[in-house]
Amino acid sequence: MKLDTNSNLYTFLYSSILVIVVAAALAFTAVKLKPLQDKNVKVEKMKNILQSIGVVASAENAEDLYNKYITDSYTVNAKGEKIEGKDAFSVNMKKQFKLKSENRTLPVYEAKIDDGSKKIIIPLRGKGLWGPIWGYFALNDDYNTIYGAVFDHKGETPGLGAEIATKEFQKQFAGKTLFDGENLVSITVYKGGSGSAEKAGDTKHGIDGISGGTITSKDLEKMVKDEWLFSYKSFLVKNKELKK
């Protein structure tokens, strides 16, 4: 049967075939690219973990450096107890963030840096102004003092909230402490930009917020306080007590 190229049936069949061909092509491309995408995500994660301890890695050497510096990794629950058989690196932070604090699976990484000292690396997750924000705290083995911090975001405003991903902002965290005596207070981000923490009289647990990026600054504060870091409270308290 010969179809009239001007008929509705012809138009319908042609459109259907075109949709099927395009969908098949897209599906094939997605399947072929997924291993590469997964590898890129893995490498980027390794680079961020390493950056928190001051190790700069490239896509080419990230895995080698990760294996060199990261000596152990595991997961804990809200009680600070290790969870057997659950790999830290494979934990989906996006899914864990949606759970109640007491139900989360919490990754922990341990590193040994070039001077021989041990660092404990804790992933962070939160909500920014326009999308998720995330990062890592590297702690000294007192489970209290921040050795290094790294943050990133999905869509914060360039020149404002996006400044959380800059070294200038991140270096403020080094040397700050999470505990005030026995109390976990974490870090306060003070409004007003440069010098705001000092003006508030809080140089121990406070850092300067981003000038013009107040919302993202406060969102980051939530991430390193009640939204995520406080899920690790039992783990931190328990290990801090063991170091006494």
Rounded to an integer, what distance in angstroms lies between the CA atom of residue 224 and that of residue 100?
16
pTM: 0.83
Question: Tokens 């990484």 appear where?
Answer: 109
pLDDT digits (tens, 9 = 90+) for 180-224: 999 999 999 998 778 899 888 898 999 998 887 788 889 999 999
Sheet holding 82-83, edge to edge: 82-83, 70-76, 106-112, 118-127, 132-140, 146-153
Map residue 83 onto helix, strand or coil.
Answer: strand
Map residue 133 onto helix, strand or coil.
Answer: strand
Run of H or E residues at 49: helix 8-52
pLDDT digits (tens, 9 = 90+) for 153-176: 876 566 556 788 999 999 999 999
Question: Tokens 């790999």 appear where?
Answer: 87
Radius of gyration of the chain (CA): 23
